[in-house]
């Protein structure tokens, strides 16, 4: 009886950017008596069904974007006589769907750190339950990933988690509802151990795969102070101090290491935090800018962000502290107008963003937006027999590209305008200009390659509608990904010790 862990993906690139952390965390959660699990990340290569034998257990983790592929794999594995267990954020939200469409015997809802081992033991005893409640385990129960199982020469970046949960409540995001609003921070010892292990293997670029690396803002603390809420203030200070402790320890790791994370824009008004990030070699961060107008921000419950010129100067603050920003923007908000696209592009250029992504507003399950959208759909709205409100089950070739009708723009117009913004932000001229942030010709060329790779990987899975363009982009990304990997990987440091 073998245990398999599968990360489903329709598109495989042979080389991937970031290690899918959950595979290696569940590998660590697999009881030793089962041996090392077989790990299959389909962003590298598709699962070979013949590798699954009767009596095996196949664990499949899905989010909404890869649920359909995951269900197909689940049915294949079940037909081959395996016991199939689903997990991941989408299964947490729709456990019955995995049982009905994915051939699942069991579904784990919530964190798998503890529940996965329990489910495996039940499978061995022939008593798998339909549903396991993994819940939200405390930070001291998070498993450290089994990086010793990483395949060689496949990934550019590794991923380590330092905190789960986010105190915000953005309407398009499910994180705060699934992972909770109370930040669960790992002890810095565990985080540093994992990072050192990865650097020993040659990974010097690490994504801190957190929901929000900046869980306590200065505004939160000021508010607690004003309310004389001493207990809350003490809690916030403790969380903040732990962040600083972690960053101080990251600063003592080898100089060639580079970290990337996700934070909210509020960090820009916290120079102490930004300085600690710089010292910790956290050189890049994804910041959800979302919209450039106050109306747009209000509509996504993100009015803690700034707009207009203040937004430009906030974003520039990060650059002033040596932190490169990947700005994330949403198109399709009700307040968007034709001129919003140009204004957004203009702002992205002016604020000194190093990278940017422009996504179309999509109602993702588990979000406030989804609930409102779902209620507004007519009951008989179906495509090929599948309810529109379960759009991820609709075959991709006939699946609508936009679900939230816009008051003045049609879906094709929206798509084309979004595509044009991507094309212009990632035109050779613009990339060359931005590449000035690199100091040598070699690193400028690397910057260009990476910008193009990022653009193509997104185009192949996101906004391009015609399949020729998608497969061309995918082939191009596959071709360019391999040499790109060489730019990120360093010589292994097998003797690297954990800084005392
Ligand atoms: S979008 Fe970011 S800030 Fe907003 S709830 Fe999600 S993780 Fe938190």
- What are the backbone angles phi and psi of residue 157, rounded to the nearest 5°? -120, 145
Q: Residue 237: is its pLDDT beyond 60?
A: yes
pLDDT by residue (tens digit) across 367-413? 999 999 999 999 889 999 999 999 999 998 898 877 888 899 998 89
- Of 182, 209, 211, the residue with max ligand 1 atoms within 8 A of its CB, to mutate for a pocket test, comes to 211
Q: In the numeric block, which tokens belong to residue 429?
A: 């001229």
Q: CA end-to-end span of the chain, whole Å?
A: 42
pLDDT by residue (tens digit) across 345-361? 999 999 999 999 999 89
pLDDT class of 427 with cuts at 50, 70, 90: very high
Q: Residue 480: is its pLDDT beyond 80?
A: no
* 78 CB-side CA count, 13 A: 19
Q: Evaluate: CB of 261 within 6 angstroms of ligand 1.
A: no
CA distance 291 to 308: 10
Residues 6 or more apart whose Cβ sits within 8 Å of residue 95: 86, 107, 109, 131
Q: What is the mean pLDDT of residues 491-498?
A: 96
Q: DSSP assignment, residue 61?
A: E
Determine how β-strand 38-41 pairs with β-strand 106-110.
Answer: unpaired
Give how far Cα 200 sits from Cα of 193, 496, 498, Å. Answer: 11, 6, 11
pLDDT class of 466 with cuts at 50, 70, 90: low
How many angstroms does the Cα of residue 417 sit away from the middle of ligand 1? 25
Strand partners, 18: 157
Q: Evaluate: CB of 287 within 6 angstroms of ligand 1.
A: no
Q: In the numeric block, which tokens belong to residue 1?
A: 């009886």
Q: Residue 56: is its pLDDT beyond 70?
A: yes
**CA-only gyration radius of the chain, Å:** 22
Q: Residue 240: is its pLDDT beyond 60?
A: yes
pLDDT by residue (tens digit) across 259-281? 999 999 999 999 999 999 999 99
**In the chain, % of residues over pLDDT 70:** 96
Strand partners, 163: 185
Supply the pLDDT for residue 471: 64
How many angstroms does the Cα of residue 392 sit away from the middle of ligand 1? 22
Minimal CA–CA distance to 34: which of 131, 106, 112, 125?
125
Supply the pLDDT for residue 467: 56
Atom 4 of ligand 1: nearest residue by CA position:
170
pLDDT by residue (tens digit) across 428-465? 999 999 998 888 888 888 889 889 888 877 754 454 44
How many angstroms does the Cα of residue 491 sit away from the middle of ligand 1? 36
Residue 75 vs residue 470, higher pLDDT: 75
Supply the pLDDT for residue 470: 59
Supply the pLDDT for residue 135: 96
CA distance 213 to 53: 41
CA distance 255 to 244: 18
Minimal CA–CA distance to 425: which of 347, 335, 331, 336?
347
DSSP character string of 186-249: PPHHHHHHHHHHHHHHTB-EEEE--S-S--S-HHHHHHHHHTT-HHHHHHHHHHHHHHHHHHHH
CA distance 161 to 184: 11
Q: DSSP assignment, residue 489?
A: B
Supply the pLDDT for residue 372: 93
Supply the pLDDT for residue 11: 86
Q: In the numeric block, which tokens belong to residue 107?
A: 């579904």
Give how far Cα 167 sits from Cα of 130, 315, 330, Å. Answer: 32, 21, 21
Strand partners, 356: 327
Q: Evaluate: CB of 163 within 6 angstroms of ligand 1.
A: no
Minimal CA–CA distance to 198: which of 489, 444, 427?
489
Atom 7 of ligand 1: nearest residue by CA position:
211
Q: In the numeric block, which tokens belong to residue 222?
A: 């000021």
Contact assessment for residue 402 and residue 332, using Cβ atoms and an 8 Å cutoff: yes
Supply the pLDDT for residue 460: 46
Across the chain, what does the average pLDDT equal?
A: 92
pLDDT class of 473 with cuts at 50, 70, 90: low
pLDDT by residue (tens digit) across 286-315? 999 988 888 888 877 777 777 778 888 999
Supply the pLDDT for residue 461: 45
pTM here is 0.91
CA distance 396 to 491: 41
Q: What is the mean pLDDT of residues 134-146?
A: 97
Q: What is the mean pLDDT of residues 11-30?
A: 93
CA distance 10 to 43: 8
Residue 449 vs residue 115, higher pLDDT: 115
Q: Evaluate: CB of 406 within 6 angstroms of ligand 1.
A: no
**In the chain, % of residues over pLDDT 90:** 77
Helix (H, G, I), strand (E, B) or coil at 100: helix
Supply the pLDDT for residue 260: 95
Minimal CA–CA distance to 192: which of 238, 134, 144?
144
CA distance 135 to 112: 8
Residues 6 or more apart whose Cβ sits within 8 Å of residue 289: 265, 305, 311, 315, 327, 328, 329
Q: What is the mean pLDDT of residues 326-339?
A: 93
């Amino acid at each position: 009886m073998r245990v398999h862990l599968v990360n489903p993906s329709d598109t495989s690139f042979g080389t991937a950017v970031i290690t899918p952390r959950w595979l290696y965390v569940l590998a660590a959660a697999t009881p030793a008596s089962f041996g090392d699990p077989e790990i299959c990340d389909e962003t590298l290569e598709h699962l070979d069904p013949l590798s699954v034998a009767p009596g095996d257990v196949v664990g499949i983790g899905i989010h909404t974007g890869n649920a359909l592929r995951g269900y197909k794999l689940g049915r294949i594995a079940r037909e081959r006589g395996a016991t199939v267990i689903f997990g991941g954020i989408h299964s947490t939200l729709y456990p019955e769907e995995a049982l009905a469409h994915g051939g699942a015997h069991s579904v784990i809802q919530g964190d798998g750190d503890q529940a996965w081992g329990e489910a495996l033991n039940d499978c061995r005893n022939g008593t798998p339950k339909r549903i396991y409640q993994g819940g939200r385990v405390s930070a001291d129960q998070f498993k450290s990933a089994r990086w010793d199982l990483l395949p060689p020469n496949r990934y550019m970046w590794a991923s380590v988690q330092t905190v789960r949960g986010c105190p915000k409540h953005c309407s398009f995001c499910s994180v705060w509802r699934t992972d909770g609003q109370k930040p669960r921070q790992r002890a810095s010892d565990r985080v540093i151990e994992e990072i050192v292990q990865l650097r020993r293997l040659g990974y010097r670029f690490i994504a801190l795969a957190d929901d929000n690396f900046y869980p306590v803002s200065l505004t939160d603390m000021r508010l607690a102070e004003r309310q004389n809420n001493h207990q809350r203030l003490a809690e916030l200070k403790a969380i903040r101090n732990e962040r600083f402790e972690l960053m101080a320890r990251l600063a003592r790791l080898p100089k060639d290491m580079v970290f990337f994370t996700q934070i909210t824009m509020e960090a820009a008004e916290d120079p102490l935090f930004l300085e600690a990030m710089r010292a910790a070699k956290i050189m890049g961060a994804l910041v959800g800018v979302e919209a450039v107008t106050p109306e747009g921000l209000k509509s996504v419950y993100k009015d803690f962000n700034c707009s207009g010129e203040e937004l430009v100067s906030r974003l520039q603050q990060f650059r002033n502290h040596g932190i490169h920003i990947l700005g994330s923007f949403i198109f399709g908000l009700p307040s968007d107008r034709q001129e919003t696209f140009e204004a957004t592009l203009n702002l992205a250029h002016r604020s000194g963003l190093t990278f940017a992504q422009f996504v179309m507003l999509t109602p993702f399950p588990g979000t406030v937006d989804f609930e409102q959208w779902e209620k507004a759909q007519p009951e008989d709205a179906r495509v090929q027999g599948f309810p529109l409100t379960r759009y991820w089950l609709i075959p991709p070739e006939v699946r609508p590209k936009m679900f939230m009708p816009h008051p003045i723009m049609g879906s094709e117009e929206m798509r084309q305008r979004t595509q044009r913004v991507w094309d212009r932000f990632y035109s050779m001229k613009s990339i060359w200009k931005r590449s000035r942030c690199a100091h040598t010709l070699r690193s400028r060329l690397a910057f260009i390659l990476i910008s193009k790779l990022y653009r193509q990987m997104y185009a192949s899975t996101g906004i391009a509608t015609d399949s020729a363009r998608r497969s061309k982009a995918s082939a191009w990304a596959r071709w360019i990904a391999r040499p790109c990997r060489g730019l990120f990987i360093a010589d292994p440091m097998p003797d690297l010790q954990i800084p005392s």
